[in-house]
Amino acid sequence: MTFTEIAQRVNERGLVSRPITRQGVRYIADHDPNWPTPPGQWIKAGSAWVMLWEPIEKFFSERTARGRGPVTRPAESTSEGSEPEQ
């Protein structure tokens, strides 16, 4: 399955709390150490990467982490009293 097909399938099967895009799936694959298929096992098919569905389905059905997580740095403060230049 490609990242696009994975996104479609996890959305259709309700394996995610909010809709996810292929970019979201790719981000998880690149950043989650628990992603079940390491890049060395991905298969190049044309311009897409493909992998087996079964381990990915299990990953999403057991996954508890959701969203971007907590903010890790304070928001930048704006200067009070400053006005935009005209």
Query: Residue 35 in contact with residue 28, Cβ under 8 Å?
Result: yes
> Whole-prediction pTM value?
0.74
10-residue mean pLDDT profile of the chain (86 residues): values are 98 94 96 95 96 97 73 65 56
* Phi and psi based region of residue 19 (left: phi greater than 0; alpha: psi -120 to 50; beta: remaining): beta
The ranges assigned to domains in the chain are 3-62
